[in-house]
Structure 1
Amino acid sequence: MNKKKYIFKFLDELSRNNSKKWMDENRSTYQLAKTYWLSEVEKMLERLCKYDSHFEMFTPKNTIQRITNNRMFHPEKPIYKTKFAFSPTRKKDEYAPIFFSIGAAESLVGGGIWRPNTDILKKVRAHIDTDENKLQKAISSKEFVTFFGGLREDDQKLKTAPRGYDYEHPHIELLRYKNFTAGIEPTRETIINKDLADIAEEVYLKLKPMNDFFHEALHK
């Protein structure tokens, strides 16, 4: 069986049998699916290292997520996640240059700033205020819009102006955002048939102009 088909088969079965009993009975299946995913992650890391030394600090194992959900504050969540993810970021990193997940329900490849702390958000907004054209140019370019469709919807976006900014600010729409992310949702068929390193590389490069703006905002 195709290795990526095997991963999806495991995730599908887990989504239908999300219990510790089932997982204990199918632990070997999980371990093999995880091994297959780590193999894909290794190839993605190797490809991305061509563009940024940031990726050299990671091994495949420290870019994947635990399969168990943290239910301390969300007891309604199922015991196990029904997706495998690749996230080459550290806790102290302010934005994600790339995020790649494949799941029983959907897959997602994207990046940007998600759930930033107050200090990070202030710095990004300040940079929008002083160098707004660079971010606007990045996210409204034909290449970006054609590929991503623009920024992803932000359900935390403010309805009014953030504190310290005029409601009539020429870039008030950008200033209202709290999360600045973009991504694609490849079909299962695409994930199975395409080289995941090719997908990760393309998304990373398409995101780079936007992420370069964030890097400038946070490190100037």
Structure 2
Amino acid sequence: MSFHKMFSFLRALQKNNNKDWMDEHRDEYHEVRDWYISWLNELDGKLGKVDPDYHSTTGKRAINRINNNLMFHPEKPVYKDHFGAGMDISDNGKQGDFYIHLGTNGSFIAGGFYKPKKQILDSIRDAIDYNGKELKKILNKSSFKNTFGELIDDGDSLKTSPKGYSTDHEHIDLLRRKTFAVQHDVTQKEVMQEDFQAKCVEIYKEMLPFRKYLNKAVTV
């Protein structure tokens, strides 16, 4: 098994996104899924060695369902065009995850908080108000910027200041944001290289100070 077979399966699924086709290829799906779970189990062990605060996350727990939630999004196809997995999952739920997205329309490694609930967003803003310089130092580190660029921006930042903060706050650019997450895009060719797992570990390490800042903000 390999990522090559995973992408081949996803391309075929994308052309035949219906339950009948999936039922006919259920064994192939489980073969790909089980192999990926084993790969994630290996990655889980390696991440635990580079981060003493890492929450061990088995591949079975990390991997997301391939079915779309049609109850809330009936316009979506029956199945996703990617395999998603969230690592470093804490039991209290107050943890920005480390997410791996491998799909036919793009693959990436991301982490942080994407459009978090109000309570978490308020906590992050409190931390920025208290010590936004630390976060900016992390974001402006050259290796961090080379790996992730800027924070993910879906254009949903506030046009003015959040309630309780002045428009001339020194960190108003951060306080206006509703998402605190970063992303590193990878090609299918990169995913299929033998060193892709090592690449995931290096990206995890580069992202770690950013995630630690956010995780501390929402747990303290």
TM-score range, shorter chain: over 0.9
Deviation, structure 1 residue 90: 5.0
Secondary structure of the residue aligned to 2:192 is helix
* Aligned amino acid, residue 30 of structure 2: Q
Instruction: Determine the structure 1 residue equivalent to 2:143.
Output: 143
Deviation, structure 1 residue 117: 1.4
User: Pairwise mapping of residues 134-213 of structure 1 onto structure 2 (< 5 A)?
Assistant: 134-213=134-213
Deviation, structure 1 residue 191: 0.3
Secondary structure of the residue aligned to 2:54 is helix
Instruction: Determine the structure 1 residue equivalent to 2:59.
Output: 60
Q: Over residues 33-89 of structure 1, what are the superposed CA-to-partner deviations in whole Å (9 max), with x where a residue is unaligned?
A: 112211221111111111235332x22111111111111111001101111122122
* Aligned amino acid, residue 66 of structure 1: R
The answer as to whether partners of 2:121 and 2:178 remain within 8 angstroms in 1 is yes
Deviation, structure 1 residue 197: 2.1
1:94 aligns with 2:94: yes
Secondary structure of the residue aligned to 1:42 is helix
* Aligned amino acid, residue 71 of structure 1: L
Deviation, structure 1 residue 215: 2.3
Deviation, structure 1 residue 218: 2.0
The answer as to whether partners of 2:63 and 2:84 remain within 8 angstroms in 1 is yes
C-alpha distance in structure 2 between counterparts of 1:137 and 1:48, whole Å: 24
C-alpha distance in structure 2 between counterparts of 1:145 and 1:77, whole Å: 34
Instruction: Determine the structure 2 residue equivalent to 1:40.
Output: 39
Instruction: Determine the structure 2 residue equivalent to 1:104.
Output: 104
Instruction: Determine the structure 2 residue equivalent to 1:28.
Output: 27
1:214 aligns with 2:214: yes
C-alpha distance in structure 2 between counterparts of 1:97 and 1:90, whole Å: 9
More displaced, 79-88 or 130-139? 79-88
The answer as to whether partners of 2:47 and 2:54 remain within 8 angstroms in 1 is no
* Aligned amino acid, residue 179 of structure 2: N
User: Pairwise mapping of residues 108-147 of structure 1 onto structure 2 (< 5 A)?
Assistant: 108-147=108-147
Q: Over residues 133-175 of structure 1, what are the superposed CA-to-partner deviations in whole Å (9 max), with x where a residue is unaligned?
A: 0000001111111111121223321111111111111111000
Secondary structure of the residue aligned to 1:74 is coil
| TM-score normalised by the chain length of structure 2 | 0.93
The answer as to whether partners of 1:108 and 1:184 remain within 8 angstroms in 2 is yes
| TM-score normalised by the chain length of structure 1 | 0.93
The answer as to whether partners of 1:87 and 1:98 remain within 8 angstroms in 2 is yes
* Aligned amino acid, residue 193 of structure 1: Q
C-alpha distance in structure 2 between counterparts of 1:154 and 1:132, whole Å: 21
Runs of at least 5 residues in structure 1 that lack an aligned partner in the other structure = none
C-alpha distance in structure 2 between counterparts of 1:87 and 1:177, whole Å: 23
Deviation, structure 1 residue 6: 0.3
* Aligned amino acid, residue 207 of structure 1: M
The answer as to whether partners of 1:154 and 1:178 remain within 8 angstroms in 2 is no
The answer as to whether partners of 2:94 and 2:219 remain within 8 angstroms in 1 is no
* Aligned amino acid, residue 117 of structure 2: N
C-alpha distance in structure 2 between counterparts of 1:143 and 1:67, whole Å: 34
Q: Over residues 90-136 of structure 1, what are the superposed CA-to-partner deviations in whole Å (9 max), with x where a residue is unaligned?
A: 57423334111101111110101112111111111011011010000
More displaced, 95-104 or 184-193? 95-104
